[in-house]
Amino acid sequence: MSEVEGITATSDKKSGKMVFETIIEDGIFRFDCSADHRNAVFPSLSFVNPKDRDTPIMSGHKVPSHIPTFECVRGQQIVQIELPLGTSFYGTGEVSGKLERTGKRVFTWNTDAYGYGSGTTSLYQSHPWVLAVFLSGEALGVLADTTRRCEIDLREESTIKFVAPQSYPVITFGPFELPTDVLVSLSHAVGTVFMPPKWALGYHQCRWSYYSEARVLEIAKTFRQKGMPCDVIWMDIDYMDGFRCFTFDQERFPDPKTLVAELHQAGFKAIWMLDPGIKREEGYFVYDSGSERDIWIQTADGKPFVGEVWPGPCVFPDFTQSRTRSWWANLVKDFISNGVDGIWNDMNEPAIFKTVTKTMPESNVHRGDIEFGGCQNHLHYHNVYGMLMARSTYEGMKLANENRRPFVLTRAGFIGSQRNAATWTGDNLSTWEHLHMSISMVLQLGLSGQPLSGPDIGGFAGNATPKLFGRWMAFGALFPFSRGHSETGTVDHEPWSFGEECEEVCRLALKRRYRLLPHIYTLFYMAHTRGTPVASPTFFADPKDPRLRTLENSFMLGPLLIYSSTANDLDRDQVQHVLPKGIWLDFDFEDSHPDLPALYLQGGSIIPFGPAIQHVGQAKPTDDLSLLVALDEHGKAEGFLFEDDGDGYDFTRGGYLLTTYVAELVSSVVTVKVSRTEGSWKRPKRRLHVQLLLGGYAMLDAWGVDGEEIQITVPSENDVSKLVSISAKQYKIRIETAKRIPDVEKVSGVKGVEVSKTPIELKSGVWALKVVPWIGGKIISMEHLPSGIQWFQGKVEVNGYEEYSGTEYRSAGCTEEYTVIERDLQQAGEQESLMLEGDVGGGLVIERQISFPKDSSNIFCIDSGIVARKVGAGSAGFSRLVCLRVHPVFTLLHPTESYVYFTSIDGSKHEVWPEFGEETTYEGDLRPNGEWMLVDRCLGLGLINRFKISEVYKCLIHWGTGTVNLELWSEDRPVSKELPLRISHEYEVRRIA
């Protein structure tokens, strides 16, 4: 049994200002609670060179403008940084929901979050990092350098709060003039993104799963037949023999080398999945070799931990040990010999089946290298497990061929993962909400140091509709990492699967990506060598402009602005395009379509583009090169083009060509030329096509030879106006004549019962209720007939009785369209009831039965539950974390004479009045002992709400203007078919003295 090593801070100081030192370069500061705490921290796993964090420099002249404060309470270190009022927060890594993180709270704990929602607080990756942007446009970055579970609380205005086990340092970057400067500074600490092979920036097609070699080749052939650009096809877990890593199913994939050779001949690469779970099976070479080397994660009593994943009982490599990483890297090296072009690391949070936590016990032991922190429990290494696995995979690919750049995709990661792997945003849903969120999620990862990311285009879980898929592909084709992926059991999600109109939009979108690959590849070279972002929020164009801070349907690729509609009912031209100040010239490739995003180029910029090839391997250095030029207000522009072999490492030894192009307007003549070059490559002999943008989709063309000056004569203002007018008309014709994707949005009922748009009325002799299934199954009217009192009368949009599926306000469940499953009318003394069901994503539904018991006419009952209907890949029957929240908002007829009364579990009695505070929460033994009552003293009536105390973990009272909300919360946990969340409760009116 291994003993977990600990480091203890000896200082008695419990709170105060943190002490600081300058590290790495001027403007980067390390803060610690005290000198003793500084000596007690664990080594950094985020820094590319951990010693940089621990080595102060003497040459720094700046002093920090914002000093964090700390408080140490019960082993937790609480750090706060107060910033100027009006500060906007971003970053925090892989998070769902809104772009601006101000007012949000997240927890860094890598979680298998299948079907996550907008309010899910822990996803697959952990980035304890915040980018703060001041009203002035200046920016500050803050990193809590801890691998352990960390709360990032941004709910208090202009205040960053970290809470994590002590001791850990806080690193600040800046303030600097621009947010980009902060990201560059961050890259000096945590490293830049690896340089991807150029083919990895093409389009990727994936599915769980393409079940045979024949199906894979059919997909490849169809791409080429339909003229759909694509570079990569992915093999999910079913290619393996019984889910055993490093094996191939001998019936479905008997000859992977030949398969890959055929794919290569057609211009495709092949990427294959590897999970961390190794089947515990004697005779399986991976298990046997790992057991011989004693490299498995251990339980607290020193035995190999066994957890169930896809193959059944599995052991897990301890990637915190160098000998484990070397063992894995050599397995990968041998695996590559089968023709493997890239590797996909999935399930590496690590995810474990048949456990509520969805991961291994925190008491498990990692016998880590001393430079990582030594022997520690899983709580310490959990968040970096996926990053270390991806690093080992990357190193194995380099061992296999040092002249090829590895490509690794990882689901789990930590800040710094970008050094070895790309990532995607996990198991998302085929919904418009997830389509909209995907832009912000990609941007947040980029703002947290990971520029190579993208979502599962079209949504992983559920069936996309033609319009949803086409719209998602339209802008998803321009994400840094562009891949379509869908789960088993859904309809086909290839770009041609949704009808000819959607297929054409997908074709146009993918051709756009391939035309812009020279620009995208250049951006990645800059990101790799300088730490600049690839995709950035629109506000990066003008950080001082508050209008841009919350824009979520646009993003930038360098100076290229992409503006899309993420709303089902609005085309791109029906959405207001909020542009940064300055010159922004719209253009297209004569391919405009209502479902494609609008493109703008910033004045002062030049970007390169090429022909619409079918795959990266088709491109030749001698192909025609095109430049788009947008002059600034001074008549100047500048841009860059990076070229090399597209793979390998010659570029690190000078084997490349980096060209700076400039344009200048002098006396009605624009001259475009090369101003400087870097690298040892000779300029290819090729034609150069310059397109000078005029606005309104108009442009002037000129052809010449690359490397020589090209001149364009600009006509008179009157002639330019005519050109713009003609181009605007042509654009309008293209939009009007485009074949639009059919608006087919289906809501499928479970038993074929149609969803009504008329409120359903339920009556007993005592109660009359009105329910609207099409908005959250909401009860909008609750009338007590004997007294004539409406206990609530909500509008369709607000108030009334709602239920949520998460801890965040208005999480899934309150607005989704519910299906009427069953309606039983009162007959012959039987109860009247209504059964509703609402899909809340990720294979989950909220079931709700509203009924009047035949033996208790004064009562009506609501029995609700979150149930797993179909929980997919990586979860083995367990969903994301969910919480059932019963959320009724009652109307107060006499607000000053109304209060809530109850007796707690501990026997204490409570009268809660509005003046006690806006919101009060009761947990543990302070919860009502099975019932609480809303009392109106003027009416002499009390509305009693009874519930099962075993199902309710928290009760909340929230007073509004003339309203009160009495919430019941279940526990917060994953659910399965066998373990749903339920709350059964009832209402009754009673006369009081």
Positive or negative, the CA dihedral 84, 138, 176, 600 is positive
Q: In whole angstroms, give the CA distance from residue 60 to residue 748.
A: 64
Quote the radius of gyration of the chain (alpha carbons, Å): 30
- How far apart are alpha carbons 543 and 776 in whole angstroms? 38
Positions annotated as catalytic residues are: 346, 349, 427
Nearest in space to 342 (alpha carbons), one of 278, 395, 273: 273
Say which residues have a Cβ less than 8 Å from residue 345's Cβ, sequence separation at least 6.
273, 274, 275, 276, 386, 389, 390, 393, 408, 409, 410, 411, 412, 421
List the alpha helices (DSSP H) in 516-631. Answer: 517-530
- In whole angstroms, give the CA distance from residue 146 to residue 75: 14
Q: Within 10 A of 901 (CB to CB), how many other CB atoms are there? A: 17
Amino acid at the residue 903: T
Which residues are CB-contacts of 279 (< 8 A; sequence separation ≥ 6)?
242, 243, 244, 286, 287, 311, 312, 313, 314
Element (H, E) at 179: helix 179-190
| DSSP code per residue over 824-887 | E---TTPPPEEEEEEEEETTEEEEEEEE--TT-TT-EEEEEEEEES---TTTTT--S-B--EEE
Residue 535 tokens read as: 């995709």
Reference 425, options 482, 385, 381; nearest CA is: 482
Reduced to 3 states (helix: H, G, I; strand: E, B; else coil), residue 694 is: strand
CB 935 within 8 A of CB 900: yes
- Count the helices and strands in the chain (H runs, E runs): 14, 59
Q: Where are the alpha helices (DSSP H) in 410-465?
A: 432-446
Whole-angstrom distance, CA of residue 322 vs CA of residue 329:
10
Give the containing element (helix H, strand E) for 900: strand 898-903
Quote the CA–CA distance of 295 and 3 in Å, as a whole number.
Answer: 16
Between CA 984 and CA 354 the distance in angstroms is: 26
End-to-end Cα separation, the chain, in angstroms: 67
Rounded CA separation 764/767 (Å): 5
> CB-based contacts of 918: which residues, under 8 Å, 6+ apart?
958, 959
- Residues 267 and 615: beta-carbon distance below 8 Å: yes
Q: Please give the structure tokens belonging to residue 826.
A: 């009162």
Q: Give the H or E element holding residue 605.
A: strand 605-609
User: Which secondary structure element, helix H or strand E, spans residue 598, and what is its range?
Assistant: strand 598-602
**Cα 948–951–953 angle (5° rounding)?**
115
Angle in degrees, CA 787, 790, 791, rounded to 5:
105
Round to whole Å and give the CA distance between 170 and 29.
Answer: 8
**How far apart are alpha carbons 488 and 504 in whole angstroms?**
25
Beta strands in 194-253 (DSSP E): 203-205, 232-235
Report whether 330 contacts 399 (CB < 8 A).
Answer: yes
CA dihedral of residues 120, 123, 128, 133 (deg, nearest 10)? -60
